[in-house]
Chain A
C-alpha cells in the first residue's frame, strides 16, 4: 500500500494511521514521536512520547518533569513497533538529540527527516543517509540563493567586530536551543576564552548541555552583573526578540548581531535591526538539500515546511516524483531554531 494512503496530515500534524501515532504533533495526542526539542516540534501534554533521551531531557527542561505521562527514550538505530508499523530513529545533525524517523509498513520505507543539516556540529552526531522509498524533507532554506558560509567564517566576523569596536557590547541574538550553544562552541573553537554573558532565557538549556557533558566554557548570566557598563566589549547572547527590547536598554553601546540562516538576505537582516548579520544555520542550505536527495535517492520526495515550490521543481528536474506536504504550525521565524 502506497504511503499516501496511510501517512496523512491533519490539523494536528503528520499521522500514521496503521501505527496510530503522530510525528511532531501540534496538539496533545495519545502517541507522539518527536524528532527534536524545538518548540514547534515538541509540545507538552501528550500521553506517550517517544524521542531520543536528549530530546526528552530538553522537553523536561522546558515543560517540567511531567511534560508527558509516558516518556520513552529511544536509542539511535533502535526499532520500536506500533501495531504493524516499525519506527527507527536515526541522527539528523540538526541540534542536540535531533533525529529522523524511518517508518516501515506494508513493504514501504518512509523517512521523516525532521529538521536536519549536513555540516559538522559538535553537539550531535552527523545526519545519516537512510535509503527509502519516500523522503519527507524540510525546505526551510529551499531556494538556490541560500548557501550558508562556513561557521568559522561567520565567527571571525564577530571577532573582527570585537577588535574594531572594543567599546561596544556585542549583543548576539540566537535561538536559545541549539543556535546559542553552537555559537558558544564555535567561539571556543576559534580560541575565544573570555566569559560569555547570557540573557535569562538562555540559561536553563545551557545548563542542560553542560549536564550532558558538553563543555561551553565560562558562562555568566547578565542579571548577575552589577555594573552593566563592564559589559562593553563583551559578548552577550540573548533571544533574537530581546535585541530591540527594553531589556537591552541597560546595556552599554549595543552592537546588534543576529545569528540566523535568514541573515543571508539583506532585507531580512535589516528588518531585524542587525548591524552585524551572521549567517549561521542549523538547517540545510540549498546545496545540502540537493545533496541529500541525491544520496538518499528515494522514489519520491515530499516537501514540508519552508519554500516547497523551488525544491519540488528541482527534485522533479532531478528525476524524482515530488509533492508538497503541508504541515501546520511550523513557525519559520522566531521558534524554529533557524
Chain B
C-alpha cells in the first residue's frame, strides 16, 4: 500500500504525460505481482466494484468527528476523501501496512457489516496520504490524469510490444493481470483469447490532400458520409438471441460478457448503451458510427416485421414499401450534441434511453457470422454486409449509405452537398480493394472533413498553461459582442505555433489589467480568429452558446476589436 500511495502522490503532482508514464513504468517494474496488477486496474478503471460506498465513508467520519467541523473543513477542502484523510482522528502508525492485494482481497471477501470497521482500522494505521489513496481506490474515484489508453501504451512500451497487441488482449484479461504482465516480461506465453469478446484495433484514415482529390478516379473508391457521432466497434459472440440475462436488466454482469461495445481507442463503453446491446445477437465484429437515431427504438415501429427492411436495399426500398418502411430504413440522425448526453453515463435512465435512443450506422465488418473478413477487400466485405443486412431484422442497425462520384469535380460537388447537412461532417473515401489493416495505413482510407467554422473573437482573459507551458499565458478566454459588451463564448489553448505563443504571452503581460487568482484579465483589444467544429446552445455560459473544439486559427494583430463578430453572428451558426 505504501508504494501505491507513493505512486499516486507523485502522479497527482506531476504534470506532463511523459513524466507520468515514467513513474508508472517504474512502479510496474518494481512492484510485485499481484499488487501491480491491482494498481493498473485502479488506474485504468477496470476494478469491478466499489470496496465501500461514498456514504459509508461519510457515515463513518460523522460518527467519529464533529459534524460541524467536518462540514467547515469539507467546505474549504472541497473534496470528501481528502477531508477525511486529514480529519480522521485516530493515528496508530504501523510498520506493516497491508499490501494493495490484501486490501483488495479483504474488501472483496468480508461481509457488508464489517466494511465500516475494516475501513476505520485501515484509516487509523495509515498516513493522510495513504488514507487518501485508500479512499480514492475504494470508491473508484482515482483521477490521476492518465487515460486507460495511456496505461495500455505504457504497458506496451514496458513489454516492448505494439500497443495493438495490448489493445486486443485488454478486454480478454482481468485484474490483477498476472498472465499479461508475465507475457510482457517474456516469461510466459501470450494469454489465449480465442473465445473472448475483445477489442480489435481499428483501421484509421488520413486527412485528404488536394493531390488525392485530383487523383480521384471512378470505380476505385467507396464514398460514404462521415457522420458526426463516435466511432465504435460492436463485438458479439452469442448465437442465442436475446437471452435471459438481457431480460434481467441492462446491467447484467455475467462472468464472460458475450457482447461489448468499444470506443475507437478500445475503452469498453457497453454500460452506457444497454439499449443497443440488448437488441443484438450473433457472432460478429462491426465497425460503425454510434449516433442518436430517433427511429432506432424498436417501439418506434408499430410492426417490426413489416418495417425492419433490409438496409442493403434501403436506397431503393422506400418507394416500394410504403411510409413506415421508409421511416424505418432511413436513419433519422441527430447531432453530436444530442449524443453527448448519452456519453459517459454509467447508467442511462430509461427516460434518457427513450428520448435519445442510439443506433449504429455500420460501415464495415471485421467478422460476420463467425467468419473473419479482414483479409478480404472492402468491396467483398461490403458485399457480405449487404447480404447480412438483407437477412437481419434489427431496428438499431443501419447500413452506411454509399455515395457516387465519378471524377474529382463531382467529388468536390458531392462534398459541398453533404456538408450542408449538419449531422454529417464530411466524406469518407476508402479504396475498394483495401484490406482491414489496424492502424493508419497509407493511401487506403481518407477523411474529408467540412471546413471549420470561424469567428473573430476578442481575447478577454488569459491563464498560464501547465508543464512546459507553465510560464506562458497559453489558455485564452475569448468573447464576442452583444451591444457594447463582450460576452465570453469559449476558451482555446491550441492552434498556434511556439513563435506565436511567445508573442501572445508577451502581449498578455503588456496588456494585463486585472487579476482573479491565476487568471489575468487583458485589455479588450486583440482579435483572435477562432476555428471550431460546431456551436451549440448552452445554459452553462452567460452567452448562451458553447463551441465544440475551439482552437486559435489566426491571430488578427491588424483587426480592431470593435470589428469582431457579434453574438448574433455566432448564434446564427447553431445547427439545426
- Cβ A270 vs Cβ B13 within 8 A: yes
Instruction: Give 8 closest A-B pairs by Cβ, nearest first.
Output: A145-B86, A310-B72, A145-B73, A244-B470, A275-B13, A143-B73, A273-B470, A144-B69
Least Cβ–Cβ distance between A173 and chain B, in angstroms: 12
State whether the Cβ of A264 lies closer than 8 Å to any Cβ in chain B.
Answer: yes
17 further A-B pairs in the complex, CB-CB below 8 A; given A269-B13, A313-B69:
A144-B73, A246-B471, A249-B471, A256-B470, A265-B77, A266-B12, A270-B12, A271-B518, A273-B15, A273-B470, A275-B13, A275-B14, A275-B15, A276-B13, A307-B76, A310-B72, A317-B66
A275 to B12, CA, bound (A): 8
Q: B86's contact among A144, A246, A274, by CB below 8 Å, is which?
A: A144
Asked if A248 CB lies within 8 Å of chain B CBs, one says yes
Q: Contacts A143-B72, A271-B518; is A265 near B82 (CB within 8 Å)?
A: yes
Interface digits, A123-154 against B, CB 8 Å rule (1 contact, 0 not)?
00000000000000000000111110000000
Instruction: Give the chain A neighbours of B82 by CB distance below 8 A.
Output: 145, 265-266
- Set of chain B residues within 8 Å of A271, measured between Cβ atoms: 517-518
In the assembled complex, the Cα of A270 lies from the Cα of B471 at a distance in Å of 15
Q: How far is the CB of B517 from chain A (nearest CB, A)?
A: 8
Residue of B nearest to A161 (CB): B10
**In the complex, A313 Cα to B70 Cα: how many Å?**
12
Most buried by A among B14, B132, B470: B470
CB-CB nearest in chain A for B464: A244
Residues of B at the A interface (CB closer than 8 Å) are 12-15, 65-66, 68-69, 72-73, 76-79, 82-83, 86-87, 128, 132, 464, 466, 470-471, 517-518
* Chain B residues with CB under 8 A of A31: none
Give me 23 A-to-B residue pairs in the complex whose CB atoms sit less than 8 angstroms apart, sorted by A's number: A143-B76, A144-B73, A144-B87, A145-B77, A146-B86, A248-B471, A249-B471, A256-B470, A266-B79, A267-B77, A267-B78, A267-B79, A270-B13, A271-B517, A271-B518, A274-B13, A275-B13, A275-B14, A275-B15, A276-B13, A309-B72, A313-B69, A314-B69
Q: Which residue on chain B has the smallest CB distance to residue A249?
A: B471
Chain B: CB-nearest residue to A265: B77
| A298 contacts the other chain (CB 8 A) | no
Question: Contacts A143-B72, A273-B466, A307-B72 known; A264 to B13 CB distance under 8 Å?
Answer: no
A277 and B69 within 8 A (CB): no
Q: Which residues of B have CB within 8 Å of A307?
A: 72, 76
B86 contacts A277, C-beta separation under 8 Å: no
* CB of A250 to closest CB in B, whole Å: 10
In angstroms, how far is the closest chain A Cβ from the Cβ of B3?
A: 14
Q: Shortest CB–CB separation between residue A161 and chain B, in angstroms?
A: 10
Max chain A Cβ within 10 angstroms of own Cβ: one of B14, B69, B78: B69
Instruction: Tell me whether A84 is interfacial, beta carbon within 8 Å.
Output: no
Number of A-B contacts (CB under 8 A): 64
Q: Which residues of A contact B (CB under 8 A)?
A: 143-147, 244-246, 248-249, 256, 264-267, 269-271, 273-277, 307, 309-310, 313-314, 317
Closest-by-CB residue of B relative to A271 is: B518
Complex: A55 Cα to B518 Cα, angstroms: 32
A246 to chain B: which residues have CB within 8 Å? Answer: 471
Nearest CB on A from B80, distance (A): 12
Q: Does B65 contact A144, Cβ atoms closer than 8 Å?
A: yes
Return chain B residues, CB-CB under 8 Å to A244. Answer: 464, 470-471
Q: Which of A145, A248, A256, A313 contacts B76 (CB 8 A)?
A: A145
- How many whole Å from A240's CB to the nearest CB in chain B? 12
Chain A residues positioned under 8 Å from B464 (CB to CB): 244, 273
Separation of A265 and B129 alpha carbons in the complex (Å): 11
In the complex, chain B residues whose CB is within 8 Å of the CB of A146:
86
Q: Are A145 and B471 in contact (CB under 8 A)?
A: no
Q: Once the chains are docked, how many angstroms separate the CA of A170 from the CA of B466?
A: 17
Closest CB in chain B relative to A272 CB, distance in Å: 9
**B13-A277 in contact (CB<8A):** yes
Residues of B within 8 A of A313 (CB): 68-69, 72
Residues of A within 8 A of B518 (CB): 271
In the bound assembly, the distance between CA atoms of A13 and B66 in angstroms comes to 33
Q: How far is the CB of A253 from chain B (nearest CB, A)?
A: 11
CA of A146 to CA of B83 in the docked complex: distance in angstroms? 10
- What is the CA–CA distance of A265 and B74 in the complex, to the nearest angstrom? 11
Query: How many Å lie between the Cα of A146 and that of B72 in the bound state?
Result: 12
A145 touches B470 (CB 8 A): no
CA distance A307 to B66 in the complex (A): 17
B73 contacts A310, C-beta separation under 8 Å = yes
- The CA-CA distance from A269 to B77 in the complex, in Å, is 12
List the B residue with the shortest CB-CB distance to A245. Answer: B471
CA distance A147 to B466 in the complex (A): 29
A142 vs B79: C-alpha distance when bound (angstroms): 18
List residues of chain A with CB within 8 A of the CB of B87. Answer: 144-145
A244 CA / B464 CA spacing, docked (Å): 8
Q: How far is the CB of A290 from chain B (nearest CB, A)?
A: 11
Is B466 in contact with A145, judged by CB distance below 8 angstroms?
no
Cα of A147 to Cα of B518 in the assembled complex, Å: 26
A154 to B144, CA, bound (A): 23
Shortest distance from the beta carbon of A217 to any chain B beta carbon, whole Å = 28
| Chain B neighbourhood of A264, CB < 8 A | 86
Kindly list chain B residues whose C-beta atoms are within 8 Å of the C-beta of A314.
69
Given the complex, which residues of A lie within 8 Å of B77, measured CB to CB?
Answer: 145, 265, 267
In the assembled complex, the CB of A104 is this many whole angstroms from the nearest CB of chain B, namely 34
Neighbouring A residues of B517 by C-beta, 8 Å: 271
Closest A residue to B518 using CB positions: A271
CB closest residue in chain A, given B10? A275
A249 to B471, CA, bound (A): 7
B83 contact from A145, A147, A317, Cβ within 8 A: A145
> Once the chains are docked, how many angstroms separate the CA of A143 from the CA of B65?
13
Give Cα A274–Cα B10 distance, bound, in whole angstroms: 11
A266 and B76 CA atoms in complex are apart in Å by: 12
Q: How long is the Cα–Cα vector from A143 to B77 in the complex, in angstroms?
A: 10
Specify which chain A residues have a CB less than 8 angstroms from the CB of B69 in the assembled complex.
Answer: 143-144, 310, 313-314
Interchain nearest-CB distance for A307 vs B (Å): 7
Contacts of A275 in B (CB 8 A): 13-15
Q: Which of B72, B77, B128, B464 gathers most chain A CB within 10 Å?
A: B72
Chain A contacts for B466, CB-based, 8 A: 273
B91 to chain A, nearest CB (A): 10
| Complex alpha-carbon distance, A99 and B224, angstroms | 78
Shortest distance from the beta carbon of B487 to any chain A beta carbon, whole Å: 26
Q: Which residues of chain B are within 8 angstroms of A310 by Cβ–Cβ distance?
A: 69, 72-73
B181 to chain A, nearest CB (A): 24
Query: How long is the Cα–Cα vector from A309 to B70 in the complex, in angstroms?
Result: 12
* Alpha-carbon distance between A246 and B15 when the two chains are bound, in angstroms: 19
A310: nearest chain-B partner, CB-CB: B72
Which residues of chain B are near A267, meaning CB under 8 Å?
77-79
Q: Which residue of B is nearest A268, CB measured?
A: B77
User: Which chain B positions have C-beta within 8 A of A309?
Assistant: 72
